[in-house]
């Protein structure tokens, strides 16, 4: 995608003037003195999310236990309602999506359901750049089956420590692999994997494949049904702005409707059977059966308001602005920060780049501390990565321009030297 580029502040202001999503910025609580570029770790609070949380609190206040079936949004079916609202963002049908659990709990649930080792196929295929929590869960699932993770968890290597080559992943899809779990977007470099290609190649080899969408859902449109992905899971507190520790989401392809979840629980029952209190589990149809325990209502409620914004903005328009913004960010870095020790670690091609940029520097940890002192909120990742996420719904091009100018000053003047080059407890 060819785009005009200028380095001036006036050009950044011009981009903001013609931004079709600019009005959504007013929907969020923003500190006017701060540039927040950490929405890929925790999205900001919107006024709609606050309102939907307060609405659920009001239902609790007014109805008590009857809030499960009364009020603005009855709690008993809230998980299903939110799943239906999420479905358009990932290209799924409403009953294929449910809001439940957490990222890692949902990975455990899906692995327990779809990992069926046989005499020949015992291995799980992942990669060496994925978020560590996924690896911990897969190691645990292998041990539960009596397998040594050192032998039965295959992690595809990266050629450069930044990105994965799909050819290498496909070459690892041997006849010993029973299940594949990969990220949609790599959490450090922001690379998007070729999901349709990988899914097709896995299925050609008789292997089920699922994806961790934590760093893509809400920033990148997906078409899981069209691509025939078997399952996926993600958190809702990053790009979807549902709040810290918010309830997560999962998708199960309609081809697997009727499969018994590996971990069954009361809330996975058919709604009309749940309170029969029978000792025989009657699973709900679709993804609803993958629920385990009682939903955390007050940690789900903000997602309702947030998803209203996504429905209005449209995921395709969000992606369009995100691509322009990350490209603009990259161009400014190359132009303004040359010779200062920075390296771009994210893919430059639109089709391979997610919603954040990856900037590498030997002094990354202390540079991040300096940015925070300057009231610019970045995200640090070991060993030397500054992640910066210009979120389409609330960040501006002017903020991107100002961030690059601040980075230039911090490094040229060596302002970072007053800090230790070591991460904080929470990076």
Residue 4 binned pLDDT confidence (cut-offs 50, 70, 90): confident
pLDDT digits (tens, 9 = 90+) for 49-104: 999 999 999 999 999 999 999 999 999 999 999 999 999 999 999 999 999 999 99
- CA gap 162, 190 in Å, rounded: 9
225 is annotated as contributing to ligand binding: no
pLDDT at 423 (0 to 100):
84
264 is annotated as contributing to ligand binding: no
130 is annotated as contributing to ligand binding: no
111 is annotated as contributing to ligand binding: no
133 is annotated as contributing to ligand binding: yes
The closest of 168, 99, 89 to 128, measured between CA atoms, is 168
Predicted model pTM: 0.96
State mean pLDDT over 138-142.
98
pLDDT at 422 (0 to 100):
86
- CA gap 95, 108 in Å, rounded: 21
113 is annotated as contributing to ligand binding: no
Q: Judge whether 336 and 406 are in contact, CB under 8 Å.
A: no
pLDDT digits (tens, 9 = 90+) for 382-391: 999 999 999 9
What residues contact residue 349 under an 8 Å CB cut-off, 6+ apart?
Answer: none
Both tokens of 315, joined, read 């995921």
Q: Cβ atoms within 10 A of the Cβ of 23, count?
A: 11
235: helix, strand or coil: coil
60 is annotated as contributing to ligand binding: no
- CA gap 15, 22 in Å, rounded: 10
pLDDT of 1 higher than 70:
no
Q: Which helix (H) or strand (E) holds 89?
A: helix 78-90
pLDDT at 160 (0 to 100):
96
pLDDT of 301 higher than 90:
yes
DSSP-assigned letters across all residues of 129-182: TS-HHHHHHHHHHHHHTT--HHHHEEEEPPSSSS---HHHHHHT--TTEEEEEE
95 is annotated as contributing to ligand binding: no
32: helix, strand or coil: coil
Residue 425 binned pLDDT confidence (cut-offs 50, 70, 90): confident
pLDDT of 427 higher than 80:
no
Both tokens of 257, joined, read 């409707």
131 is annotated as contributing to ligand binding: yes
Domain limits, the chain: 9-30+315-418, 50-312
413 is annotated as contributing to ligand binding: no
CATH match of 9-30+315-418 with 3.90.1150.10? yes
Residue 12 binned pLDDT confidence (cut-offs 50, 70, 90): very high
pLDDT at 426 (0 to 100):
79
- CA gap 184, 89 in Å, rounded: 14
pLDDT of 197 higher than 60:
yes
pLDDT digits (tens, 9 = 90+) for 312-328: 999 999 999 999 999 99
Of all residues in the chain, the percent with pLDDT exceeding 90 is 96
- Please tell me the total number of residues recorded for the chain in this structure: 427
pLDDT digits (tens, 9 = 90+) for 330-358: 999 999 999 999 999 999 999 999 999 99
pLDDT digits (tens, 9 = 90+) for 385-413: 999 999 999 999 999 999 999 999 999 99
pLDDT at 341 (0 to 100):
97
pLDDT of 250 higher than 70:
yes
63 is annotated as contributing to ligand binding: no
Place of tokens 């009020």: 71
Q: Judge whether 183 and 155 are in contact, CB under 8 Å.
A: no
Q: Which CATH number fits domain 50-312: 3.90.1300.10, 3.40.50.300, 3.40.50.2300, 3.40.640.10?
A: 3.40.640.10
311: helix, strand or coil: helix
- CA gap 218, 163 in Å, rounded: 22
């Amino acid at each position: 995608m060819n785009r005009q580029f200028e380095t001036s502040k006036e050009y950044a202001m011009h981009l903001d003037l013609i931004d079709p999503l600019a009005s959504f910025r007013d929907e969020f609580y923003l500190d006017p003195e701060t540039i927040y570029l950490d929405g890929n770790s925790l999205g900001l609070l919107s006024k709609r999310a606050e309102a939907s949380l307060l609405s659920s609190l009001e239902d609790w206040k007014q109805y008590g236990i009857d809030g499960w079936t009364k009020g603005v949004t009855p709690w008993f079916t809230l998980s299903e309602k939110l799943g239906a609202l999420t479905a358009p963002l990932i290209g799924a049908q409403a009953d294929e999506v449910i809001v439940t659990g957490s990222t890692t709990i949902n990975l455990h649930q899906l692995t327990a359901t779809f990992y069926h080792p046989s005499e020949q196929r015992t291995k799980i295929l992942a990669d060496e750049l994925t978020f560590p929590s996924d690896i911990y869960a897969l190691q645990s699932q292998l041990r539960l089956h009596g397998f040594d993770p050192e032998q039965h968890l295959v992690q595809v290597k990266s050629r450069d420590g930044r990105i994965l080559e799909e050819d290498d992943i496909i070459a690892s899809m041997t006849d010993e692999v029973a299940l594949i779990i990969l990220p949609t977007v790599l959490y450090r470099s922001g690379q998007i994997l070729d999901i349709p290609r990988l899914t097709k190649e896995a299925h050609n080899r008789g292997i089920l494949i699922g994806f961790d969408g934590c760093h893509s859902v809400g920033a990148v449109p997906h078409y899981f049904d069209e691509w025939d992905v078997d399952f996926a899971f993600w958190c809702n507190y990053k790009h979807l702005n549902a709040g810290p520790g918010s309830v997560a989401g999962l998708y199960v392809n309609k081809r697997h409707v009727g499969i018994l979840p590996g971990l069954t629980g009361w809330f996975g029952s058919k709604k009309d059977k749940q309170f029969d209190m029978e000792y025989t589990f009657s699973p709900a149809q679709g993804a609803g059966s993958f629920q385990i325990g009682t939903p955390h209502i007050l940690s789900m409620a903000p997602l309702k308001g947030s998803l209203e914004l996504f429905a209005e903005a449209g995921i395709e328009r969000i992606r369009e602005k995100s691509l322009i913004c990350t490209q603009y960010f990259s161009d400014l870095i190359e132009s303004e920060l040359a010779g200062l020790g920075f390296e771009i670690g994210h893919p430059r091609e639109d089709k391979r780049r997610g919603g954040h940029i990856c900037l590498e520097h030997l002094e990354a940890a202390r540079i991040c501390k300096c940015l925070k002192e300057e009231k610019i909120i970045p995200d640090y990742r070991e060993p030397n990565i500054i992640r910066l996420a210009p979120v389409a719904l609330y960040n501006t091009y002017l903020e991107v321009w100002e961030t690059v100018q601040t980075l230039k000053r911090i490094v040229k003047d060596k302002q970072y030297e007053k800090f230790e080059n070591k991460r904080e407890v929470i990076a």
